[in-house]
Amino acid sequence: MGPEKLAKIAIAALEDIKARDIVVFNVKKMTALFDKVIIASGDSNRQVRALANNVCEEVKKSGGRVYSTEGEQTGEWVLVDLGAVIVHVMQPAIRQYYNLEEIWGTPQRPAARKTVVRRTVAAKKTQRRSAR
């Protein structure tokens, strides 16, 4: 299964459980390890674990493979490794602290349903500085 299809399945699974602030990064030119990074937020430990679990279930149902997951015990940040796609599901405070969006650059618009890409506060500050 290709990275585009895996990403669509993961995004749809995240949206089904009401993930917030879903962003997708095409990192194929930055690393040979994977093609896409998806970052999403959940409001509680329980929701973060449910989001990650739903991604795993939907990928498996579609014939894909989940290589590993990490962080399920605490539920603050769960990483799901789908091979060509890496999914980070985080609580907002953890997401803000680590600011993975800054590392990976400009996100793509997900091709799935009604997902809205929002820029982080740090990205807005950087954009204002570069405009000066």
**What domain count does the chain have?**
1
**Extended strands (E) in the chain:** 20-26, 36-41, 68-70, 77-81, 85-90
Predicted TM-score (pTM) of this structure: 0.77
Residue 112 pLDDT more than 50?
A: no
Per-residue pLDDT tens over the stretch 73-82 = 988 999 999 9
**In which element (H, E) is residue 115 found?**
none
Q: Are 9 and 64 in contact (CB under 8 A)?
A: yes
Per-residue pLDDT tens over the stretch 10-66 = 999 999 999 999 999 888 888 788 889 999 999 999 999 999 999 999 999 999 999
Q: Domain with 102 in it: what CATH number?
A: 3.30.460.10
- Ordered strands of the 77-81 beta sheet: 20-26, 36-41, 85-90, 77-81, 68-70
* Residue span of the structural domain in which 22 resides: 3-131
The DSSP symbol for 108 reads: B
